[in-house]
């Protein structure tokens, strides 16, 4: 499997696959195939894909450790940028379709509704991570400070689930929230376990 995953065409193929949900959602919206409330479906769909890509990013390290597929570590940066990409589309769809790009209405709405406040905090952290995801940033910051900053992905995971929970709380729909919370909780829990295991002498 490792030999297959190192083929030159694998990463471009993965890139194309990562773009498909965005093309599908936008295309379905243009063709009026997103149901009775297409704006809500588009916003929610982009938010769902943000969480899914966040799960994939957090899955990279456990997958590498338990399978020996070291090549997957090369995909982490790209997958992380796709988290930011889908989160930004999610924010853009909300600002456009819900608020009509009206800053007079938009800014108070961010402050007034806790789930949007939390979502904006998560997006702000993702912006910082995306802006420093390149080799020049690592050299400029130093590896240790860069690593500390990029641990903020754990905070993004917590804020993302909280954002989703508060959004669904009004409708008492917690099934999907529980699934994402369990997945992200398991992935974060694995990191705690791995760090503890590394510090305990054999």
97, 148 contact by CB (below 8 A): no
Sign of CA dihedral 12, 137, 135, 72: negative
How much is the pLDDT for 8?
87
Q: What angle do CA 6, 9, 13 make, to 5 degrees?
A: 110
- pTM for the complete prediction? 0.92
Q: b/e map of 45-77 (b: 16 or more CB within 10 Å)?
A: bbbbbbbebbbbbbbbbeeeeeeebebbeebbe
129, 152 contact by CB (below 8 A): yes
125, 133 contact by CB (below 8 A): no
How much is the pLDDT for 5?
81
Contacts with 53 (C-beta within 8 Å, 6 or more apart), sequence order: 18, 79, 82, 83, 86
Query: Where in the chain are the domains?
Result: 2-199
The tens digit of pLDDT for each residue in 24-63 reads 998 998 888 988 889 999 999 999 999 999 999 999 999 9
Average pLDDT, the chain: 89
The tens digit of pLDDT for each residue in 150-193 reads 989 999 999 999 999 888 766 666 778 888 889 998 988 898 88
């Amino acid at each position: 499997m490792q030999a297959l995953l190192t083929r030159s065409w694998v990463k471009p193929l993965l890139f194309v696959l990562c773009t498909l949900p965005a093309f599908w959602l936008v295309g379905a919206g243009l063709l009026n195939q997103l149901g009775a409330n297409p704006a809500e479906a588009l916003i929610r769909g982009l938010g769902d894909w943000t969480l899914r890509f966040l799960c994939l990013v957090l899955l990279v390290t456990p997958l590498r450790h338990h399978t020996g597929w070291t090549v997957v570590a090369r995909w982490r940066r790209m997958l992380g940028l796709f988290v930011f990409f889908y989160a930004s589309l999610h924010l853009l769809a909300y600002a456009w379709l819900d608020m009509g790009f009206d800053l007079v209405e938009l800014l108070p709405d961010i402050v007034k509704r806790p789930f949007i406040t939390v979502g904006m905090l998560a997006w702000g952290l993702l912006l910082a991570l995306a802006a420093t995801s390149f080799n020049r940033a690592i050299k400029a910051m130093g590896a240790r400070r860069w690593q500390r900053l990029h641990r903020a992905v754990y905070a993004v995971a917590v804020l993302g689930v909280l954002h989703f929970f508060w959004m669904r709380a009004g409708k008492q729909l917690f099934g999907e929230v529980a699934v994402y919370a369990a997945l992200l909780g398991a992935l974060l829990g694995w990191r705690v376990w791995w760090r503890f295991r590394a510090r305990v002498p054999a």
